[in-house]
Amino acid sequence: GENVEQHPSTLSVQEGDSAVIKCTYSDSASNYFPWYKQELGKRPQLIIDIRSNVGEKKDQRIAVTLNKTAKHFSLHITETQPEDSAVYFCAAPSGYQKVTFGTGTKLQVIP
Amino acid sequence: NAGVTQTPKFRILKIGQSMTLQCTQDMNHNYMYWYRQDPGMGLKLIYYSVGAGITDKGEVPNGYNVSRSTTEDFPLRLELAAPSQTSVYFCASSLPTSSGYGYTFGSGTRLTVV
């Protein structure tokens, strides 16, 4: 099955700075890479995803980049705000219509 | 649309008791999933279903059972509850697409086994 590694496990940034979270995957056939945000005590919510036919996708302050050769993908958050504080999970396909999640990154944005 | 609805939100069980966690979705999604999330940890797949009448095991199925008699409902059954099953349980659903699929999660059921 797919093996997804996520780094760092915790990340503290000053408000307004950028944050980068990186994930690596093992299955070269994987073609879809979502990112989820989970606020404290809440459900995970899909914030952005990327398919293997593109190298980058942006949505306002959030972007995801994909390097298929190196088998890694990253989440970039620019101009961080306190409401960005949450746990972020990456995921990669691990068989027919299911995914394996990374271990999560707890992001703290310091005002 | 209510999305994915889970009940109950909280439950305390005694060791050896049984219970059913309910999950229903109104988005006509074919695919449904049950995950557990232990404190400070990631999401582990318990069971999933690609359509009514079809279910399959995930990473951590022991101690659980599921059924999928309709597209909308995907209940998770705990038999003989154990302290190791103390966790937050999330149900999720998705559409099948040829190139990827995002999950919609329910709000979770926080289960404590004492």
pLDDT tens, position by position, B38-49: 988 899 999 999
CB contact under 8 A, B103 and A34: yes
**What was the pLDDT predicted at A69?**
92
**pLDDT value of position A4:** 93
- The 10s digit of each residue's pLDDT in B68-106 is 999 999 999 999 999 999 999 999 999 876 556 789 999
pLDDT at position A31 is 87
- pLDDT value at position B100? 67
- In the numeric block, the tokens 């056939």 are attached to A29
**pLDDT reported for residue A30:** 85
Residue of A nearest to B100 (CA): A32
DSSP, collapsed to helix, strand or coil, labels residue B1 as: coil
Return mean pLDDT, chain A. Answer: 93
**Cβ contact, residue pair A34, B100, below 8 Å:** yes
Low-confidence ranges of chain A (pLDDT < 50): none
Interchain contact B95–A (C-beta under 8 A): no
Which chain A residue has the Cα nearest residue B31? A97
pLDDT, residue A1, reads 66
Please give the full DSSP string across A33-85, using - where no structure is assigned. Answer: EEEEEE-TTS--EEEEEEETT-SEEEETTEEEEEETTTTEEEEEE-S--GGG-
The whole-angstrom separation of Cα B95 and Cα B25 is 12
